[in-house]
């Protein structure tokens, strides 16, 4: 399976055991405030989330990477690519999205202990470069819930620019885009 490396991080395909190490991150209300519907997840919901990550890898050959710090092997979060159906703004796969318009998002969620250290920019930059070079993507987006200025800053550092507002579920979000 595909993995990416940066100076400080290894980004690898998810495995079921990642639910155990990601559960504290997904259970943190502050981390999850801007993810999904904005609520923390139970351990069972985290396990389902990791299963969906694995299924998307199986369907598309890419997805959200489990992100591991090299110095100590700590799982710091997940960073990677998500395919969205732009008619509904629901996650999909490339195969499912063959009949509908889609966008590919660079997404990033890190545990709170790892914020403010440049990890999100470092990991998402590697994912962006892989998408543009390895997958031949011509456009990438980031969907950011209003108020998440830290994620906006990461998107801008990656070269994405604000394009428009959208509704992501029941939440107001901003779509940032990078066109090559």
Show pLDDT as tens, one digit a residue, over the chain (180 residues): 689 999 999 999 999 999 999 999 999 999 999 999 999 999 999 999 999 999 999 999 999 999 999 999 999 999 999 999 999 999 998 877 677 889 999 999 999 999 999 999 999 999 999 999 999 999 999 999 999 999 999 999 999 999 999 999 899 999 999 999
The distance of Cα 38 from the centroid of its chain, to the nearest Å, equals 15
Backbone torsion region of residue 112, taken as left when φ is above 0, otherwise alpha when ψ lies between -120 and 50, otherwise beta:
alpha
Number of helices (H), then strands (E), belonging to the chain: the values are 5, 9
Instruction: Indicate the pTM of the whole model.
Output: 0.94
Pick the closest to residue 49 from 80, 11, 94 (CA basis): 80
């Amino acid at each position: 399976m595909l993995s990416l490396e940066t100076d400080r991080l290894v980004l690898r395909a998810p495995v079921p055991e990642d639910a155990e190490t990601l559960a504290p991150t997904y259970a943190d209300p502050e981390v999850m405030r801007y993810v999904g519907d904005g609520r923390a997840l139970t351990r069972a919901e985290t396990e389902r989330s990791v299963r969906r990550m694995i299924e998307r890898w199986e369907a598309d050959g890419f997805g959200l990477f489990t992100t591991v710090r090299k110095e100590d092997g700590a799982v710091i979060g997940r960073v990677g690519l998500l395919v969205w159906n732009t008619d509904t703004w629901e996650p999909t796969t490339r195969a499912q999205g063959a009949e509908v318009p889609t966008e590919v998002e660079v997404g990033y969620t890190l545990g709170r202990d790892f914020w403010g250290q440049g990890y999100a920019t470092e990991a998402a930059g590697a994912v962006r470069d892989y998408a543009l070079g390895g997958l031949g993507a011509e456009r990438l987006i980031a969907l950011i819930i209003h108020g998440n200025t830290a994620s906006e800053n990461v998107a801008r550092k990656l070269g994405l620019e604000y394009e428009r507002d959208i509704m992501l579920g029941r939440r107001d979000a901003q779509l940032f885009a990078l066109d090559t």
